[in-house]
Structure 1
Amino acid sequence: MKIAVVGAAGMVGSRVIDEAASRGHDLVAVFRRTRSADLPPGVIAVEGDADDPDRMAALFGGADAIVAATRPAPGYEDGVVTTTTALLDAAAAAGIRILVVGGAGPLRNPGDPDRLVVDSPEYVPEQWRSIAAASSTQLDVCRAHDADWVYLSPPAVLEPGHRSGTYRRGTTTLLADADGTSRISAEDLAVAVVDELENPRQEKHFTVGQQDA
């Protein structure tokens, strides 16, 4: 499978590239500024602005799947609408399925299903609320678009760590342990991303979490 990864320099994008390359897939790594260092052998590095749908559509040509792993910088959360729309437009123009790695904000609170995670301070401290709200907006953009998309919401805590190769999968409710912990390593999130690309399921919005001990 040929996979184009947008946001290849980021925590998630870089690990998706490593995971997919380890499984023998062909990769196109899309960077805002071209770079090739630290990429697995055979990965093609290209330069492209995620906000430019024409450029993205040209880069996606010949791909079987797209992973959108972009993340707005602090203070630029409003840009998520422009970027997500451009990537969905490009995916639709190329006729390719796109997996958008978003945020936990639009998930439901496991202890209070009538409340979203973005409105749950126990999962989203005030300093993270802007980016969590942006992820809710991002999912709304996807839902309003006719591209072939799937949206992955990570758990509350996503950070570099150990690749166990296992995880739990859910749909639209945050996955949390009995003590309220909701997390996964970026490495295991990448495993879930590539699993979904290889064996797509029916859900348009899903989440994952660390495997129970």
Structure 2
Amino acid sequence: MKIAVLGATGMAGSAIVTEALTRGHHVVALARRMPDRPGHPRLTACTIDVVRTCELASALAATDAAVLTIRLAPGEEHRLAPLTRRVLDTAERTATRVLIVGGSAPLRSPTDPDLRLIEDPRHVPPTWRTIAQASLDQLHACQEHPYTRWTYLSPPAVFEPGTGTGRYRRGTTTLLTDRDGRSRITAPDLALAALDELEDPSNEHHFTVAEPSTSSTAEGEVRETVTTDRC
């Protein structure tokens, strides 16, 4: 498979690029600023601005799927939903499937299913409200778009760098927590979930993941990925 990763230099994007290459896929890494990195025979790195539709269309035209992992600078969060719409506009023209790595704000609270996470101060303090609203607006932009070949992946409450375990829990639209109320995952394990979804697409438009839990009461399906070169 040939996969375009938009925002390839960020924490999620770089982990997804690494996992995709490890599995034997061809990757087109796209970012506004592309630092030098060791060459790889299946990696093409391109500097691109997603607001330039012609450049984006050219990048997506030759790919099987795209992953959108863009994060905007403070004060620019309101641009996330319009940028996502623009990516879906282009993907519709190129018939490219899109996986959006978004935010946790659109998820339901694990203690009150009538509340979205953005409305639950135990998980989204006031200082996080702006970026939380941006991710909720981003999901709404996807849901309102006529193109339907998209999937929205919500990370857990804490998404951080670290060492992957090779396992993760997959849920639907409610935040996954462990017995102690923690909700987290590292970038390498989220990348496993992203590649598993690209390789074996579900019928779900929105899902979430979290780190494996030893609690027998923890919700979510535990998945273990043994990475091999598949292409």
Fold match by TM threshold 0.5:
yes
How far does residue 38 in structure 1 lie from its aligned partner after superposition? 4.5
Alignment of 1:71-110 (within 5 A): 71-110=71-110
8 Å CA contact 2:9–2:34 kept in 1: the answer is no
For 1:124, give the aligned amino acid. V
Could you list the per-position Cα deviations for residues 133-162 of structure 1 after superposition, in whole angstroms to 9, with x for gaps in the alignment?
110000000001122111000000000011
Runs of 4+ in 1 over 4 A off after TM superposition: 38-41
How far does residue 123 in structure 1 lie from its aligned partner after superposition? 1.0
Secondary structure of the structure 1 residue equivalent to 2:115: strand
Identity %: 48
Could you list the per-position Cα deviations for residues 7-40 of structure 1 after superposition, in whole angstroms to 9, with x for gaps in the alignment?
0110000000000000000000001134342564
Residue 63 of structure 2: aligned partner: 63
For 1:121, give the aligned amino acid. P
How many Å separate the matches in 2 of 1:185 and 1:119?
Answer: 24
Residue 46 of structure 2: aligned partner: 46
Note the residue ranges of structure 1 that are not aligned, 5 or more in a row.
none
Residue 204 of structure 2: aligned partner: 203
For 1:19, give the aligned amino acid. E
How many Å separate the matches in 2 of 1:186 and 1:38?
Answer: 20
Secondary structure of the structure 1 residue equivalent to 2:114: strand
For 2:191, give the aligned amino acid. A
How many Å separate the matches in 2 of 1:153 and 1:39?
Answer: 31
Note the residue ranges of structure 2 that are not aligned, 5 or more in a row.
215-231
Residue 228 of structure 2: aligned partner: none
How many Å separate the matches in 2 of 1:154 and 1:14?
Answer: 16
How many Å separate the matches in 1 of 2:52 and 2:145?
Answer: 17
Residue 218 of structure 2: aligned partner: none
Residue 18 of structure 1: aligned partner: 18
For 1:188, give the aligned amino acid. D
Residue 153 of structure 1: aligned partner: 154
How many Å separate the matches in 1 of 2:118 and 2:54?
Answer: 33
Residue 164 of structure 1: aligned partner: 165
Residue 220 of structure 2: aligned partner: none
